[in-house]
Amino acid sequence: MSFKGLVEMRCPGGCQPFEAEVWSFVRGDRDPDLREKIMAGEMNLLICPECNQTFYGEEPLIYYDPSMELFAFVFPASYEKEKSRWQEKMEADFANFQASLPEAQWLHDAPLLFFGIEGLQQMLVEEQGLLDEVEVIEHICVALGLSLYRSCISYARKRHIPSLLPLDGAVESMGKAERLRDRILKGLRKVLATNGQMETYRNYLAELEKNTQDKSIPPTCKKQ
């Protein structure tokens, strides 16, 4: 569930303070309409009733989407001058949040920190573009008889690589990492031969083909 509340706001133009509703906690997986508002640049965007100037409410926001292994703190841009202070607060608040959850629901990566909503907005827009590519990949894999290899989303996010990869052969017979890497390469080549427009997958294939000495693969997620 997402949360919002009434907060006293001050217009950058120096007008009289006014009360406005702002969101403080957003569950991206349960409230896709709010996720859309962030991507559209409309989250906590206010209009001064005195001068009609638009501005973002200077209030912290937490964005949580366990389905995407994502927990982010968004502080006002003006807070960045005390970055170390807010980094410490973020870590403490995140530890308290984790403690309130069953261990099976813990996020094992550190939360993301943004100063200003624009950083989160850009990241979500980029991830939506990748999700659109993933949907195409799933359809192509079904048509070609390929399996899907699901890697850790947070790992993929850090490295700007896809978290869902086409796999030549059955998932049940994944085998050693080196063999699995070869099967991912074959899967990528087959998919991109069918549809070469998917930039993230093209870039990842080029990276794998270039780094021939690196036999590592993205860690698998718990559910394949």
Q: Tell me, letter by letter, the H, E, C secondary structure of 195-213.
A: CCCCHHHHHHHHHHHHCCC
Helix 117-144 and helix 32-39, axial crossing angle in degrees, nearest 10: 120
Q: In which band, very low, low, confident or very high, does the pLDDT at 14 lie, cut at 50, 70 and 90? A: very high
Task: Report the percentage of the chain scoring pLDDT > 70.
Answer: 95
Residue 222 within any structural domain of the chain = no
> Which region among 41-50, 124-133, 167-176 has the lowest average model confidence (pLDDT)?
167-176
- Reported as a pLDDT band with limits 50, 70 and 90, residue 117 is very high
Are 17 and 107 part of one and the same domain? yes
Q: Does one domain contain both 110 and 139? A: no
pTM beyond 0.75, yes or no: yes
Residue 50 lies in a domain: yes
Domain end call among 71, 91, 115:
115
C-alpha to C-alpha distance for 114 and 124, rounded to whole angstroms: 13
Say which residue the tokens 């962030």 belong to. 38
What's the confidence (pLDDT) of residue 211?
87
Per-residue pLDDT band for 213 (boundaries 50, 70, 90) equals: confident
Using CA atoms, how far apart are residues 56 and 175, in angstroms rounded to an integer?
51
Of 115, 146, 179, which one is at a domain's C-terminal end? 115
Q: Distance between CA atoms of 140 and 195, rounded to whole angstroms? A: 8
- Whether residue 15 is contained in a domain is answered as yes
Three-state DSSP state, 106: coil
Whether residue 128 is predicted with pLDDT greater than 60 in this model: the reply is: yes
Please report whether residue 218 resides in a domain: no
What would the two tokens of residue 97 be?
């949040």
Number of H helices, E strands in the chain: 6, 9
Confidence of residue 113 (pLDDT cuts 50, 70, 90): very high
Q: Do 130 and 30 belong to one domain?
A: no
Q: Which residue has the tokens 């850009």?
A: 122
pLDDT in tens, 152-196: 998 899 888 999 999 998 765 555 666 888 999 999 999 999 999
Query: Could you tell me if 104 and 165 lie in one domain?
Result: no
> What sign for the dihedral angle of Cα 132, 134, 140, 143?
negative
Q: Which domain holds residue 170?
A: 126-210
For residues 201 and 171, state if they share a domain.
yes
Please determine, for residue 42, whether its predicted confidence score (pLDDT) is greater than 60.
yes
> Does residue 188 belong to any structural domain of this protein?
yes
Q: Are 170 and 148 in contact (CB under 8 A)?
A: no
* Tally of structural domains, the chain: 2
Q: Which of 80, 115, 150 is the last residue of a domain?
A: 115
Is there a domain that residue 120 lies in?
Answer: no
Alpha-carbon dihedral sign for residues 92, 100, 75, 110: positive
